[in-house]
Amino acid sequence: MNRFAPTMRDSRATSAFISCWNLRDRQHQLDAAEAALATMPAAPGLVRFSILRGLEDDTLLVLAQWTDADARDGYLADTHIPRDTVDARVPGIQRLWRVTATPHRVVSGPAIAQEPGCFVLIRQPLTAAEPEEQRTWIHAEIAALTATASQGVIATTFYATDDGSPALALAEWTSEEAHRTATSARAIAPSDVTEPREGGSDPLDPPTGRRYAFIGAVGAER
């Protein structure tokens, strides 16, 4: 598979799974990321498999984008081989949560022509959300984003989750500093990691989201 530049938008992707891992420290974080990128198979329907590292903590954000839900779900039904390989190379990974999702809409920002230097994940502030609640939150976020778009925003992808988990928004920014400046009045809290809960939800994120930096991505050639 090919390595990609740091952009999360691809028109071929109509389905995704997103997960968050917690690691012991920065080296453990980087080792887990490289192991995951190296062992991800060229699965049918995979468009792009991306790893982002937390800038305020030692988490990893994993985003796998697929051509369709059937391809994604077929991989997830038999994902133990690459997972076991990663765990053998890098013991001690805590998998906090994982959701399957559908990209609902992509909203371009003023800096759409630039390459992202920072990513911000925003989660809907509900412990569970019905589809209509997800859509209402997404549309409200889109309205707020288009009304007061910061010059540092490149694009934001809104995801509706499939299992009643909170909806997600992944924003691409020109830099960490651009996002810090735009949200200076609202501090971003560090992760409040307790126990690993596969398939569950970690404590809700602050309303400004959590910042991540791109580590790498692999996938099928366009």
Residue 29 has phi, psi (to 5 degrees) of -60, -50
Q: For 121-139, what is each residue's pLDDT tens digit?
A: 998 877 777 888 898 999 9
Q: Domain tally for the chain?
A: 1
Q: For 141-167, what is each residue's pLDDT tens digit?
A: 999 888 877 889 999 999 999 988 889
Mean pLDDT computed over every residue of the chain: 86
Task: Specify the DSSP class assigned to residue 25.
Answer: S
Range of the domain at 122: 2-219
Hey, what long-range contacts does 108-113 have (CB within 8 A, 24 or more apart)? Answer: 108/154, 108/155, 109/145, 109/149, 109/150, 109/152, 109/153, 109/154, 109/155, 109/156, 109/172, 110/149, 110/150, 110/151, 110/153, 111/151, 111/152, 111/153, 111/154, 111/173, 111/174, 112/154, 112/155
> What does the pLDDT read at residue 127?
73
> What does the pLDDT read at residue 163?
85
pLDDT bracket for residue 8 (50, 70, 90): confident
> What does the pLDDT read at residue 26?
96
Name the percent of the chain in helix, strand, coil, to the closest 5. 25, 35, 40
pLDDT bracket for residue 205 (50, 70, 90): low
Q: For 41-99, what is each residue's pLDDT tens digit?
A: 889 999 999 999 999 999 999 999 999 999 999 999 987 778 999 999 999 999 999 99
Q: What is the pTM of this model?
A: 0.86
Whichever domain contains 190, its CATH number is: 3.30.70.100
> What does the pLDDT read at residue 5?
65
